[in-house]
Amino acid sequence: MATITYVFTIDHVAEMLGEDLELLEAIVRNSDNLTYGNIISVVHGDDQTITALTDQGIDELNQMLSAARRSPEAWNDFLDSFVDDEELIARVKAKSPR
């Protein structure tokens, strides 16, 4: 594995991918959802962290989302599996599909 010299904050990743920030946060909250080392927690104060992703993490997340959107059923199954917040699921499902 190449040495990681930079990462992207989850906020920036959401902007880059045109995705809902809370959806991405829900997915990466469980570090097992992406390959080990692709999710980075950056400590920037007492008990304050920012989640960031490596380039590989962004690619993996983007592929995961693309695969989930292959059909409405797959997308609904994906949301039900990866997101615990019913309001977030409803909001994401209400947006027009890509």
Whether the per-residue pLDDT at 36 is higher than 90: the answer is yes
Which band of pLDDT confidence, cut at 50, 70 and 90, is reported for residue 95? confident
- Strands laid side by side in the 39-45 sheet: 8-9, 48-53, 39-45
Whether the per-residue pLDDT at 59 is higher than 80: the answer is yes
pTM metric for this prediction: 0.88
Percent of the chain scoring above 90 in pLDDT: 79
Q: Which helix (H) or strand (E) holds 13?
A: helix 10-17
- Tokens 């917040």 correspond to 85
Whether the per-residue pLDDT at 46 is higher than 90: the answer is no
Q: Supply the pLDDT for residue 1.
A: 62
In angstroms, the CA 4 to CA 56 distance is 10
User: Which residue spans within the chain are E strands per DSSP?
Assistant: 8-9, 39-45, 48-53
Average pLDDT over residues 75-83: 92
Q: Supply the pLDDT for residue 96.
A: 58
In angstroms, the CA 18 to CA 87 distance is 19
**pLDDT tens track for 5-14:** 999 999 999 9
Angle, in degrees to the nearest 10, between helices 55-68 and 21-28: 110
